[in-house]
Structure 1
Amino acid sequence: MVDSIRDDFQRKARNADYEGIEFFTDRHLSFLSEGVGFGDYTVLGATFEGGGGPAAAVAIHGTFKGQGGAVWVEHFVSDDTERNVGTVGGKYLQAAGKLVLRARHAPEMFGNDKALQSFAADVVALHYPGLGKSKERQIYHHVALMYQLLTNRL
């Protein structure tokens, strides 16, 4: 038996380049027949990329259960995608608002966890917690979703 870790996140050069929905993984459906476990790099990807300056666009990557139980990722990108347009906080609220709306309309796909609840609370309060907290919540949501899938709660 073997274990497997794979980077399934399709990284783009800029946040503004993300769009729509992409397949993420289905290994959680078959790993028991192939090995002792599996892992992924969530919505971070395996490669660290340093950057600098204010974000031109904010992207929030939300994983969800698709048809047949496979996991897909939907990219929620701010409407403002130019460096000198708007604020990073405003861009975060644009992207978070899109995620919250989608998750509310499809709870059977996105589940419900503290990360999604925190995004929703930010949108209601017009609160910007910082890009680091946004990334933390994206990771939390992905791990919570995988847990819900592996325990047949979603």
Structure 2
Amino acid sequence: MYYPFLRGKQEELLAIKELLLAGKLGDRVTPVIELVKLSSTLVSTLAEFVKAERNIYLVMNPIVGEFENNMSETLLGNEDEDEVRRIKRLNLIKEKFNVLLTSEFVKIALYYCNDFNGYFNNSKLKSENEIAILLKDAGENMAFMQSSFIENNRIKLCFTTEIEDVINFTGRAVLWRDRFNKRERNSDYPEDEFFSKDHSIYSTQGCVGFSDYSIVDSEYVDNGFSPYAIAIHMVYEGNENKHLRIRHFISDTNNSPKNPSQKYKEATKKLVAWCEPNISLKTLGYSKIKDTHDKEAYPGLGSVKRFSIMHHLEITGEVLGTL
């Protein structure tokens, strides 16, 4: 089972929603979403998963973003008209979110920090909720193993970054690692490199699943910036041992951040030339990139990230189906 760990930003949510609606999200793929913002896109995405009777995990005690502030925001009586409208709209979204939270298909994930005890015992979480525990480092693994929670039968999954600790969570361990090798500059990416073999080894290591951050690294960045170079990252299955590799398609005119449309055209020209001969690479995410290329349209960097995530999740789901 693959549990891609994504932040609940607009493009990440749209990626899994569009795959689900198109029937391209493999049965062995269950997203884990760290809630960084309360939004209508979050609500609509959850609604589609519930409608499709597909499981999705939500990190209810996020350590990044503004979700908790959104959930606690109320009218105080001294707001101007625009602020009143914004908070009322937010409260409507909150009501819909709380209803979806009661669905059997919306599962709960919790970091073993950030008031874990309070969230674990929160009355809003049904007693039968399956809980996934997120253990970020060896210290948290040790603390969790020494706690009374380890024997709690509500805890179904233990996400661990330390393969040495997998044995402590037999039957529940999910190997959770950042597989994207982020460079300081987009122009620094090599043409091609190894990405991951976790999908082919997780079960031999005693795990019930594996997790990564897709083609986004584990560092959380709220606002982007205009890069000098545009890089599009495409995961594919290598010829040897079913390992996943990643190809980086980089623009050529990288002396300034000006003209991102031209940079995108340069990168997609390389991408389409490489992908077109290989039918196994023609995913929904790829088709969206090719469509913008054919129309000579620049969709913006957010959409480019969404399409690349979609491609990765679809490719991984297809590879798992052949193992």
TM-score, normalised with respect to structure 1: 0.90
**For the structure 1 residues 53 and 70, does the alpha-carbon distance in structure 2 shift closer, same or farther, using more than 3 Å as the test?**
closer
Distance in 1 (alpha carbons) for counterparts of 2:225 and 2:174: 39
**For the structure 1 residues 52 and 36, does the alpha-carbon distance in structure 2 shift closer, same or farther, using more than 3 Å as the test?**
closer
**For the structure 1 residues 17 and 51, does the alpha-carbon distance in structure 2 shift closer, same or farther, using more than 3 Å as the test?**
farther
Residue number in structure 2 paired with 1:38: 210
- Which 10-residue stretch deviates more, 144-153 or 117-126? 144-153
Cα pair 1:62 1:74 within 8 Å, conserved: yes
Q: Percent identity?
A: 28
Residue number in structure 1 paired with 2:267: 95
Distance in 2 (alpha carbons) for counterparts of 1:52 and 1:147: 29
Distance in 2 (alpha carbons) for counterparts of 1:52 and 1:143: 23
Q: What pairs with 1:75-114 in structure 2 (closer than 5 Å)? A: 75-83=248-256, 87-108=259-280, 111-114=281-284
SS at match of 1:62: strand
**For the structure 1 residues 33 and 21, does the alpha-carbon distance in structure 2 shift closer, same or farther, using more than 3 Å as the test?**
same
Picking from 272, 278, 301, the partner of 1:131 is 301
5+ residue gaps, structure 1? none
Amino acid at match of 1:115: G
How many angstroms does 1:19 deviate by? 2.0
Please give the per-residue CA displacement for 1:3-55, whole angstroms capped at 9, x wherever unaligned: 11100111100111112111010111121222100011111010124666432
Residue number in structure 2 paired with 1:143: 313
What is the number of equivalent residue pairs in this alignment? Answer: 150
Amino acid at match of 2:243: A
Picking from 73, 95, 105, the partner of 2:246 is 73
Picking from 139, 161, 183, the partner of 1:12 is 183
Residue number in structure 1 paired with 2:158: none
Distance in 2 (alpha carbons) for counterparts of 1:113 and 1:53: 28
Q: Which runs of 4+ in 1 moved over 3 A?
A: 49-53
1:3 and 2:3 are equivalent in the alignment: no
Give the greater-gyration-radius structure (CA): 2
TM-score, normalised with respect to structure 2: 0.44
Larger RCO, structure (CA 8 Å, separation 6 or more): 1
Distance in 2 (alpha carbons) for counterparts of 1:52 and 1:11: 15
Amino acid at match of 1:80: T
How many angstroms does 1:115 deviate by? 0.8
SS at match of 2:217: coil
SS at match of 2:322: coil
Distance in 2 (alpha carbons) for counterparts of 1:91 and 1:103: 18
How many angstroms does 1:90 deviate by? 1.2
Amino acid at match of 2:282: N
Amino acid at match of 1:79: D
Please give the per-residue CA displacement for 1:64-110, whole angstroms capped at 9, x wherever unaligned: 100221000011000111115x51011112112211111112334xx
Picking from 49, 60, 64, the partner of 2:232 is 60
Picking from 262, 270, 288, the partner of 1:118 is 288
Amino acid at match of 2:220: F
Distance in 2 (alpha carbons) for counterparts of 1:51 and 1:82: 22
Distance in 1 (alpha carbons) for counterparts of 2:254 and 2:321: 38
Distance in 2 (alpha carbons) for counterparts of 1:28 and 1:118: 26
